[in-house]
Amino acid sequence: MFEQITILGSGLLGASLAMSIHHAKIAQSITIWARRKETVDLCSSKTWCQHGEENLERSVIGSNLVIICTPVETIGGIARQIAPYLEKGTLVTDVGSVKNQICLDCEEAMKSSEGFFIGSHPMAGSEKSGMDFASKELVNGKSCIITPMKDAPVNYIQKLEEFWKALKMIVFRFSPAEHDRAAAYFSHLPHLLASCLSRHLDTQDPNWKKISGNGLKDTTRIAEGDPLLWQQIFQMNKKEILTSIAGWEKSLEEIKELLKGENKNELHNYLKIGSNFRKDLDK
Amino acid sequence: MFEQITILGSGLLGASLAMSIHHAKIAQSITIWARRKETVDLCSSKTWCQHGEENLERSVIGSNLVIICTPVETIGGIARQIAPYLEKGTLVTDVGSVKNQICLDCEEAMKSSEGFFIGSHPMAGSEKSGMDFASKELVNGKSCIITPMKDAPVNYIQKLEEFWKALKMIVFRFSPAEHDRAAAYFSHLPHLLASCLSRHLDTQDPNWKKISGNGLKDTTRIAEGDPLLWQQIFQMNKKEILTSIAGWEKSLEEIKELLKGENKNELHNYLKIGSNFRKDLDK
Ordered by start, the domain boundaries in chain B are 2-174, 178-281
Interface of B with A in 66-105 (CB under 8 A): none
Interface residue A268 vs chain B (CB under 8 A): yes
Question: pLDDT class for A97, splitting at 50, 70, 90?
Answer: very high
Which residues of chain A does B200 touch, with a Cβ-Cβ cutoff of 8 Å?
Answer: 247-248, 250-251
Residues A71-83: what's their mean pLDDT? 97
Question: pLDDT class for A272, splitting at 50, 70, 90?
Answer: very high
Pick from A138, A143, A169, A198 the residue to mutate for testing the B interface (most B CBs within 10 Å). A198
Out of A183, A247, A260, the one facing B211 most closely (by C-beta) is: A183
Radius of gyration over every alpha carbon of chain B, rounded to an integer in angstroms = 21
Which residues of chain B does A189 touch, with a Cβ-Cβ cutoff of 8 Å?
Answer: 197
Quick check: A252 and B245 CB within 8 A?
Answer: yes
Q: Do the Cβ atoms of B243 and B184 come closer than 8 Å?
A: yes
Nearest C-alpha in A relative to B275:
A224
Interface residue A215 vs chain B (CB under 8 A): yes
* A152 to A105, A113, A186, B224: CA distances (angstroms): 15, 15, 26, 41
pLDDT per residue over B32-54, tens digit each? 999 999 999 999 999 999 999 99
Quick check: A216 and B281 CB within 8 A?
Answer: yes
Write the ipTM.
Answer: 0.92
Q: What is the pLDDT of residue A250?
A: 96
Q: Nearest CA of chain A to the CA of B50: how many Å?
A: 31
Q: What is the pLDDT of residue B40?
A: 96
Q: What is the pLDDT of residue A33?
A: 98
Q: What is the pLDDT of residue B45?
A: 96
Specify the CATH number for A178-281; select among 3.20.20.70, 1.25.40.850, 1.10.10.10, 1.10.3660.10: 1.10.3660.10
CA–CA dist B282, B164 (Å, integer): 22
Quick check: B193 and A190 CB within 8 A?
Answer: no
Run of H or E including B156:
helix B154-166
Which residues of chain A does B216 touch, with a Cβ-Cβ cutoff of 8 Å?
Answer: 186-187, 190, 281
Q: What angle do CA B241, B247, B250 make, to 5 degrees?
A: 140
CA–CA dist A206, A201 (Å, integer): 9
Interface residue A220 vs chain B (CB under 8 A): yes
pLDDT per residue over B251-275, tens digit each? 999 999 999 998 899 999 999 999 9
Quick check: B186 and A172 CB within 8 A?
Answer: no
pLDDT per residue over A159-216, tens digit each? 999 999 999 999 999 999 999 999 999 999 999 999 999 999 999 999 999 998 899 9
> Residue A162 carries which side chain, given as an amino acid letter?
E
Residues A139-152: what's their mean pLDDT? 95
Q: What is the pLDDT of residue B229?
A: 94
Q: What is the pLDDT of residue B263?
A: 84
CA–CA dist A142, A170 (Å, integer): 6
pLDDT per residue over A27-49, tens digit each? 999 999 999 999 999 999 999 99
DSSP B6: E
Q: What are the residue ranges in chain B where pLDDT is below 50? A: none
Out of B200, B242, B245, the one facing A247 most closely (by C-beta) is: B200
Q: Do domains B2-174 and B178-281 have the same CATH topology?
A: no
Q: What is the pLDDT of residue A234?
A: 97
The answer, yes or no, to whether residue A262 has pLDDT greater than 90, is: no
Quick check: B190 and A234 CB within 8 A?
Answer: no
Q: What is the pLDDT of residue B262?
A: 81
Q: What is the pLDDT of residue A263?
A: 84
Specify the CATH number for A2-174; select among 3.40.50.720, 3.40.50.1220, 3.40.50.300, 1.10.443.10: 3.40.50.720
pTM: 0.93
CA dihedral A184, A100, A77, A97 (to 10 degrees): 30
Average pLDDT, chain A: 96
Quick check: A268 and B227 CB within 8 A?
Answer: yes
pLDDT per residue over A98-130, tens digit each? 999 999 999 999 998 999 999 999 999 788 889
Q: What is the pLDDT of residue A112?
A: 85
